[in-house]
């Protein structure tokens, strides 16, 4: 299995555990150093270039889904998982 795909799978599994919306870049440099920063309007390929990274991932976590976009050279991967709706109890009600 492709390393970019494997890493994207691991990232999306971790991101699914979080609750808050997020939009982050994970940029991997030549020595393996990882830089994590908030993603803005910048496309992933441009963020990789500006950081001098070899590989990059963009993680978008929203209420209904999590998406991971990965890029290494000419390789590209996009994974998306829908989030299961969570059961939320009304205020004052305890679930046993």
Q: Where are the chain's structural domains?
A: 3-82
The predicted structure's pLDDT at residue 86: 58
The predicted structure's pLDDT at residue 85: 61
The predicted structure's pLDDT at residue 52: 96
CA-to-CA separations, 95 to 17, 50, 84, 86, 89, in angstroms, rounded: 21, 49, 19, 13, 7
Name the stretches of the chain with pLDDT < 70: 1, 85-96
DSSP state of 78: E
The predicted structure's pLDDT at residue 19: 86
Closest CA to 4 of 50, 46, 48: 48
pTM across the whole model: 0.83
């Amino acid at each position: 299995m492709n390393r970019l795909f494997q890493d994207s799978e691991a990232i999306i599994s971790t991101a699914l555990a979080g609750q808050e919306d997020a939009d982050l870049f994970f940029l991997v440099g030549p020595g393996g150093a990882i830089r994590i920063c908030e993603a803005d309007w910048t496309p992933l390929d441009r963020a990789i270039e500006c950081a001098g990274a070899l590989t990059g991932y963009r993680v978008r976590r929203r209420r209904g889904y999590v998406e991971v976009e990965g890029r290494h050279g000419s390789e590209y991967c996009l994974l998306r998982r829908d989030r299961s709706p969570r059961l939320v109890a009304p205020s004052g009600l305890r679930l046993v």
